[in-house]
Structure 1
């Protein structure tokens, strides 16, 4: 019998992994930025209300927050 797998939650509009708050998204962005040596940005999704990560630079500093790998 196969092991139970928790379904992966995804945003219905973007298909991206949702983070419940800015801090959780920022921590994941920092971790992945260091791991993959790239810059990631976080933004609040207008469709689901959660936070997501993206590689695209912000069009406006008011809409996206930058996270640098350290």
Structure 2
């Protein structure tokens, strides 16, 4: 049996959509099937369209600021050495 494997962005490993219409359709399908609200944006690195769970309003607040990435609070978590 053959399964469809979508192409993924090498920078963010998110599914790549060719145009905004197909990305919006996928976001709408996700909302109907899983009840999850997703937004569409154009990736600056690969030029294709991706889905995100962050609303555009919350993303605009962090642009231009050097915000640290949240760290895991899992028990026994050890960050990787750089």
TM-score clears 0.5: yes
Q: Pairwise mapping of residues 1-70 of structure 1 onto structure 2 (< 5 A)?
A: 8-58=6-56, 59-60=59-60
Gaps of 5+ in 2: 61-82
Gaps of 5+ in 1: 61-70
Query: In proportion to residue count, which structure has more helix?
Result: 2
Q: Give the alignment's Cα RMSD to 1 decimal.
A: 1.8
TM-score, structure 2 as length reference:
0.62
Structure showing greater relative contact order (alpha-carbon pairs closer than 8 Å, 6 or more residues apart): 1
Count of residues paired in the alignment? 58
Q: Give the number of the structure whose alpha-carbon radius of gyration is greater.
A: 2
TM-score, structure 1 as length reference:
0.71
